[in-house]
Structures are given as structure tokens and as C-alpha cells.
């Protein structure tokens, strides 16, 4: 660990000096002299006396410095059978004009603009135009239910809402406008103006005086210039689910975001200006903010905007087609995407149909990458497969194999080591550091590095209680894991997924590793369910590989035996069911808490982020067959 370790030590020994040095690599209207201010910790600030504009760093700077004709965005939409490329100059023109549209509707520095759109270039235009004016964008995943959208409207109080007429799924069209209209009706905060992008697949009805047509407004718009803001001014609000049912508005500051994301594009992902970078996510999630829009454009890369799925649009070769056609160097996606590809194409036959010579590195994040998925990807692609760990709250990687600093050996099940800037530790419930190899709460010593969240929107008390009350001087990630003797970090589960079986603390992630290692298993989830005798017992749900026709009872028996062999009888693993699907969020995370509530027969709320609510009926049947899941109010 030569260059990595040197860089890591520098970032912790003098954080302000280290990050002020990185700040020289971005464009400021007033360069900061102050690194981190910890006087009001944990409400720490970065580069407080600096002034900057994120849109200028993403577009204007590159156009002025030789990248005007380079592709900024490549839009690839298998669901509409269309592609479109926008150069940096073209994107700057559209963003400047749409900033003029927003300005004409009264948007100015500090105002909020809510964006409710699918994966189309206009969504990126809306985001960057908002930032251009020094306003604050809040992207809500297109197709969110009206009630959930209304909650976000009331919390962020936007001056303008930008939406599309519809989103397009492989098997259906989702009309956004009726959902938006209902949300505006329900919300207490009344929005005076909306801008509606009419997609040809669905023409939305418009309300005179309130709704403005995107195309018409753009024709008459006067381009707007960049408005400098303080480094500490918010760039955006991104809502993440909260345990209370009230979503948490994660705030991202401007200066810290530009510096950290620009730095990470080289240090973590090893990308250079001109490279083609693809984050196969959605702009409604943090990955989309950081690595579809801002990070690649800050670095002068070409970013891929993909409106499709890993399978089904049209098949499990979809990712390989995109890589070949657009000469992608780096792909960043979720492990669940690769599990879906592996399920449909277990032998990787479709990979051989494409020329992947441009492709250098695969990065996985969003959910724990089990060793079986990692090894399958390594074997099929014959390229570095890098698991890395981060959160909506942090905005960029906490742990990673930093490919632009030094390539470290990969250890299956580990996102490698802490990224420079993150002082990671493992504590027990009393706040005492754990020995190497022992599972505890993964925490980060304050101050957090630039680009992480400095607060929650209008909820400082909740910021303190949700993240900082358990361990004084630390950010509580909510994840459990351990650090091995080589300093490698293992993220095993959310803290509430470390289960207590008759007094033994056991990781559901470790059990999932065992199940995933079975040759017939494509994907799995293990969760702890209530038991009167032992406190909790593990429950397993597995999806089988495509083409597997073996008896399900035989497979279940083999899985029970595997857990007994690898974890031990102490796990008391006896309940496992084969299911066709697992309930997931639209970003691919398995809804373990919802399944656990169903199994424990306690009231649960339909998750706003669920991809397909119908799958819960299938899970209910599987749980009932195992003796769980009676009638509980949903």
C-alpha cells in the first residue's frame, strides 16, 4: 500500500491542507483559504469563504478549454429505440436557455426546483440549469406515488416543478402528469408554475396559467449566466427513506461536492478527461447525481444516460451492447444488476457476442456484493471487478479500491479499504473500539470529508439524532461489519440486520454469502425474524438460476446443510423458501425490513420506492408456507 497509504495518511493528518490542495483542481470565483471548520461539529463546513458554481465547472469551463465538440452526454434508450448525443457546447446551450426559462418563472439563488423526470437528457438539463442559477434542485424519482411526491413538495417548498409527461418501462408506460396534478392538489405548499416536457409517447393535459410547455418555453428563452454561490450553499436536496415514514432530505453543499467528485473521478475510478464513463443508475438516486451527472462532467468525461434495464431490454446482453457501441471505459452498477444478468445468462454466453476492448473496470455498489457474484463477474469479464461502499449521506465512496492511486489485491466480500478522507472505525454498543475481525458498528470519525452531507433539510435535530447521538465524535453509518488484519473493511449488514440468535450476534450477510455460493442460487436474502425461544431466527429466500428444474425441497435441504457447515449449528438456520422474485426498490435494494415485518406479523407500510408491489403477494405466500406471515395491517 504505497501511494494509497501515503495519500490516506495525508488526508487524515491535515485534512484542510489535503483538500485545499485538491480544491486547486476546480474552478472558483473566489478560491477558499479555509479548509474545514469544526467549531459547530457535527455541523462542519468545507471551504466556507470560497465562491463557486457547479454548472460552470460541469460545462462552461470545458467549452472554454477545448472540449466544446466532445460528447458530454450519450443518451441510449432501448425502451424507445432512440439515441442522442449532446456535445459540451450543445449541452451548455440547452442548459443556459433552460436556466433562462426558470429565471423567467421567478427562480433565483437559493430557491428550490423539484424535478420529476425519467432518464432523458432534458432531466440533466433541468438539474444543471437549476445549479446555474444558484438554486437548489430536488430530484424525485419519476413515477413516485402522488402522496410521497406531495410530502417532498411540502418539505422542499419548490418555486417551480419540472416534470415529463411520462416514463417508459419495458412493459408499460407510466403517466407522470396525473400523479403530479394529484400531488400538487394534496400538498399544502402551492406551486405556481410547472414546466412539462411532452414526450411523444404520451401527451399530458395542461392547466392554463400554471403548466408551461418545455419546448415552447425554450424557443423564447433568453440564456442565463452562472450565478456564483458560497461553497457552503446547498447544491441539492435528495430525499432518502426514514424510519419514521417522513423522508430525510439529505443536503449536499456546493464547493465540497465539486472538489470531492472531481477528485474521485481520477483517484477512485481512474478516469481522465475524454473517457467514456457509465453509471447504470437513475438520476433519482445519489449515484445518478454524483456519477451520471456531476462527477463525469466535472472531469470532462462523456457520460452515458441509459433508459433501460440490465435484462429484458431486450436481453441479458444489453450492458455489453452499450459498452461496445459507446466505447465505455468504466461501468458502475449495482450487484443486483449482475445477479439478474447471471440468472438469465449463467454461462455468460452473450458476453462473447460483443467487443469489450474499450472496457477496463467494473465498479459495483448500492448493496453488498456477495463473493459468488464477484467471482462470476471476474471470470466472465476477465477485468478488475471493484466492490465499493458508500451511502446517500456521503455522496461518494467511503471504501474502495482506489484504482487511480494504487490497485490493491481484491478480497471477495470486501469493498477494500477506506478512501482518503474517511477515518473508519468499528465500535461496540458502548462505543469501545472492537478488535480486528470482530463485528460491530461501522463509524467514521469526524470531520467527514468534503462532499458529504452537512445537514438535513430543515431538520438539524433529526440530523443529530439519526447519525450522531450513538457515538460521540463519530458519524454512525448504520452498517455493521469488521476490519481485518490487513485493514480491509467488510460491510456485513445494516446494523439492524445483525441478528441475535440465543445470545449469539450473527451476520445475515455471512449467511447470504453461503447461500449465494450454491450452484443453483442466483440471488438470495437472509433476515432475522422474531422467535419466542431464541429471540431471532434467520429466514432465507432464494431465487434460482434460469433453467434450474431441480426439486425445491432438495435445494432447500442443501442450503440448510450449507449454512450449518459454514456458519455452524448456532445459526439455527432451518427456514428457506424458493421464490421467483424479491421485493426491491427501483435502485435494486432488497426490501429486507418490509419482508421482516411481514414475517413478524407487524404493521408495515407499502414502500414508496418499491419497483413492483405485486411481488409482496408472492412473498406473503412463501412466508405463509413456512409458517410465517399471518394477517397484519399494511
User: Which pLDDT does position 244 carry in this prediction?
Assistant: 46
Which among 288, 277, 236 has a CA at the least distance from the CA of 257? 236
Strand partners of residue 506:
499
Residue segments in the chain with a per-residue pLDDT below the cut of 50: 243-244, 632-634
Element (H, E) at 242: none
Q: Are strands 399-400 and 211-213 parallel, antiparallel or unpaired?
A: unpaired
Q: Give the up-direction half-sphere exposure of residue 41: CA atoms within 13 A in the CB hemisphere.
A: 14
**Cβ proximity of 98 and 129 under 8 Å:** yes
Distance CA 239, CA 501 (A): 34
Q: Residues near 76 by Cβ (< 8 Å), separated by ≥ 6?
A: 83, 304, 305, 306, 307, 308, 322, 325, 326
User: Which pLDDT does position 510 carry in this prediction?
Assistant: 79
For the chain, give every domain's residue range: 502-625
Euclidean distance between the first and final Cα of the chain, in Å? 51
Q: Which three cell numbers stand for residue 336?
A: 443486483
User: Which pLDDT does position 630 carry in this prediction?
Assistant: 55
DSSP-based three-state secondary structure for 513: helix
Cis bond leading into 447, ω under 30°?
Answer: yes
Say how many C-beta atoms besides its own lie within 10 A of residue 363's C-beta. Answer: 21
Which among 282, 281, 286, 290 has a CA at the least distance from the CA of 258? 290
- Phi-psi category of 355—alpha, beta or left, where left has phi over 0 and alpha has psi -120 to 50? beta
Superfamily the domain 502-625 falls into: ANL, C-terminal domain (3.30.300.30)
Distance CA 430, CA 370 (A): 30
Distance CA 341, CA 321 (A): 13
Helix axes 508-516, 371-381, angle to 10 degrees: 40
The DSSP line for 531-575 is: ETTTEEEEEEEEEEPTT--S-HHHHHHHHHHHHHHHT-GGG---E
Amino acid at each position: 500500500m504505497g501511494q494509497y497509504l501515503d495519500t490516506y495518511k495525508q488526508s487524515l493528518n491535515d485534512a484542510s491542507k489535503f483538500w485545499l490542495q485538491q480544491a486547486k483542481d476546480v474552478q472558483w470565483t473566489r478560491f477558499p483559504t479555509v479548509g474545514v471548520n469544526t467549531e459547530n461539529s457535527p455541523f462542519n463546513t468545507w471551504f466556507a469563504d470560497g465562491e463557486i458554481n457547479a454548472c460552470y465547472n460541469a460545462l462552461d469551463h470545458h467549452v472554454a478549454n477545448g472540449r466544446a465538440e466532445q460528447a458530454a452526454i450519450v443518451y441510449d434508450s432501448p425502451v424507445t429505440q432512440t439515441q442522442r448525443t449532446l456535445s459540451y457546447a450543445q449541452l451548455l446551450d440547452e442548459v443556459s436557455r433552460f436556466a433562462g426559462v426558470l429565471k423567467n418563472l421567478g427562480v433565483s439563488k437559493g430557491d428550490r426546483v423539484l424535478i420529476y423526470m425519467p432518464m432523458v437528457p432534458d432531466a440533466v438539463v433541468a438539474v444543471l440549469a437549476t445549479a446555474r442559477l444558484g438554486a437548489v434542485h430536488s430530484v424525485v424519482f419519476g413515477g413516485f406515488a402522488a402522496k410521497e411526491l406531495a410530502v417532498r413538495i411540502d418539505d422542499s417548498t419548490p418555486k417551480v416543478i419540472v416534470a415529463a409527461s411520462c416514463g417508459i418501462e419495458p412493459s408499460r408506460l407510466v403517466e407522470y402528469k396525473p400523479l403530479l396534478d394529484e400531488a400538487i392538489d394534496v400538498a399544502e405548499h402551492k406551486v405556481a408554475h410547472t414546466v412539462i416536457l411532452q414526450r411523444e409517447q404520451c401527451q399530458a393535459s395542461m392547466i392554463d396559467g400554471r403548466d408551461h410547455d418545455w419546448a415552447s418555453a425554450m424557443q423564447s428563452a433568453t440564456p442565463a449566466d452562472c450565478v456564483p454561490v458560497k461553497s457552503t450553499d446547498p447544491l441539492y436536496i435528495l430525499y432518502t427513506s426514514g424510519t419514521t415514514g417522513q423522508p430525510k432530505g439529505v443536503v449536499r453543499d456546493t464547493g465540497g461536492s465539486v472538489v470531492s467528485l472531481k477528485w474521485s473521478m481520477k483517484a477512485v475510478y481512474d478516469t481522465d478527461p475524454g473517457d467514456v464513463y457509465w453509471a447504470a443508475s437513475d438520476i433519482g438516486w445519489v449515484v445518478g447525481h454524483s456519477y451520471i451527472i456531476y462527477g463525469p462532467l466535472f472531469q470532462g468525461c462523456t457520460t452515458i444516460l441509459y433508459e433501460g434495464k440490465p435484462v429484458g431490454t431486450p436481453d441479458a446482453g444489453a450492458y455489453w451492447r452499450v459498452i461496445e457501441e459507446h466505447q465505455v471505459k468504466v461501468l458502475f452498477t449495482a450487484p443486483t444488476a449482475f445477479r439478474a444478468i447471471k440468472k438469465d445468462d449463467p454461462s455468460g454466453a452473450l458476453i462473447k457476442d460483443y467487443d469489450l476492448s474499450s472496457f477496463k473496470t467494473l465498479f459495483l455498489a448500492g448493496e453488498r456484493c456477495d463473493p459468488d457474484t464477484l467471482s462470476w463477474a471476474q471470470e466472465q469479464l476477465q477485468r478488475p471487478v471493484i466492490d465499493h461502499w458508500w451511502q446517500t449521506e456521503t455522496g461518494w465512496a467511503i471504501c474502495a479500491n482506489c484504482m487511480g492511486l494504487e490497485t490493491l489485491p481484491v478480497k471477495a466480500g470486501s469493498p477494500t479499504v477506506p478512501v482518503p478522507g474517511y477515518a473508519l472505525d468499528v465500535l461496540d454498543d458502548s462505543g469501545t473500539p472492537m478488535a480486528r475481525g470482530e463485528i460491530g458498528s461501522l463509524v467514521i470519525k469526524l470531520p467527514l470529508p468534503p462532499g458529504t452531507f452537512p445537514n438535513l433539510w430543515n431538520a438539524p435535530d433529526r440530523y443529530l439524532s439519526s447519525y450522531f447521538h450513538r457515538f460521540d465524535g463519530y458519524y454512525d453509518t448504520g452498517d455493521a461489519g469488521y476490519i481485518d488484519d490487513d485493514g480491509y473493511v467488510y460491510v456485513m449488514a445494516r446494523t439492524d440486520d445483525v441478528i441475535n440468535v440465543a445470545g449469539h450476534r450473527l451476520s445475515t450477510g455471512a449467511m447470504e454469502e453461503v447461500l449465494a455460493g450454491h450452484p443453483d442460487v442466483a440471488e438470495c436474502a437472509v433476515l432475522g425474524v422474531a422467535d419466542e425461544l431464541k429471540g431471532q431466527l434467520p429466514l432465507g429466500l432464494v431465487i434460482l438460476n434460469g433453467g434450474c428444474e431441480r426439486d425445491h425441497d432438495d435445494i432447500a435441504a442443501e442450503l440448510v446443510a450449507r449454512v450449518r457447515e459454514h456458519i455452524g449449528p448456532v445459526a439455527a438456520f432451518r427456514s428457506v423458501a424458493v421464490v421467483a422474485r424479491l421485493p426491491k426498490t427501483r435502485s435494486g435494494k432488497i426490501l429486507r425490513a418490509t419482508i421482516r415485518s411481514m414475517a413478524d406479523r407487524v404493521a408495515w407500510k407499502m414502500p414508496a420506492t418499491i419497483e413492483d408491489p405485486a411481488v409482496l403477494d408472492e412473498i406473503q405466500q412463501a412466508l405463509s408456507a413456512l409458517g410465517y406471515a399471518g394477517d397484519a395491517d399494511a
